[in-house]
Structure 1
């Protein structure tokens, strides 16, 4: 049963698996965060080099994410005591305060629900996952990275903005989209809509590909 839990994965478009966990900021449940977007990320272990660089980088984007109504949450299969010691060390040695909660997941319950344990990488450490959960508790995007490679923070911010733009304007975002770029209009659903698409004022490439400003 335990191994089955470790290989379960959340599904895009469905409610993100709920959990209640101890963190460096006290107990937190995912359901209590409805109304906010959540970026939940896992790291393999405290007091490790790549993870430390990532925590410095996540701390640097915390305020920008908070301005987008995003709660940032970290996680590893370490204890609260380990997290607190590492956070203290980062502040003391590198002068950076870690402002977001870090989930302690020694029993791997959250890691199991979210498919963070990949035996091909490690059976005792979470790979580097990022989960984007919207303000209604729905899983909207997931990115998985291996143990050895750190994440690119601008992509995390860009994807949050893309998802929020999709929700607000009911549009899609094209490849390499950045905030302020044109967005993609939904393709027509009928022959009649297809015929009039070229005259609707969009930047027209073909009946199925049109852009507009928002």
Structure 2
């Protein structure tokens, strides 16, 4: 176990929040010069950190605690009727694990997704450099789980292996196929994969009660959230 007290952290200046209007945000980063590893990543995930590219971070905003780390306790997960319907709709897809890397095929799907789903966000416009810097990592155990119909790539779930689970880093998919609900399908598949690997948790990043874009995470139960340094079962009431 790493002595976390020896790590240095850096806080960004305040900037406009990507999730809540009229809010200022700042981010706490682990020193990029530190020796990062999947083991350290696993320890920091327990404290609410996430990965973006080669960096480990968590929100650290003045006077705001809206971003709450969340994870699914997969052994007790019970799919809803909608989930079962989506899995049935996508039963013609094959899922293969591929190295986390830039390819023209991956990038074209990513760019189409960002253009059509996040054209008003801070990830627009997409670029090859952004794709590589955001999704790949030199030190993490990262894989692209690729959902294909025959030879056609429909979705990619970018997933990190942790000691106690998987971390759902990002999913991008064909935005022209809303009837498949590919984003939901990718999360359901990652939950199933955790069960297959006998790992207890799927880390979902941050749940934000006031943000409609993040509300979907509360649909995967039982959900645990990190409050006051302890993981507790999510209570919607």
Which has more radius of gyration? 1
Q: Which has the higher helix share?
A: 1
TM-score normalized by the length of structure 2: 0.27
Q: Which has the higher strand share?
A: 2
TM-score normalized by the length of structure 1: 0.29
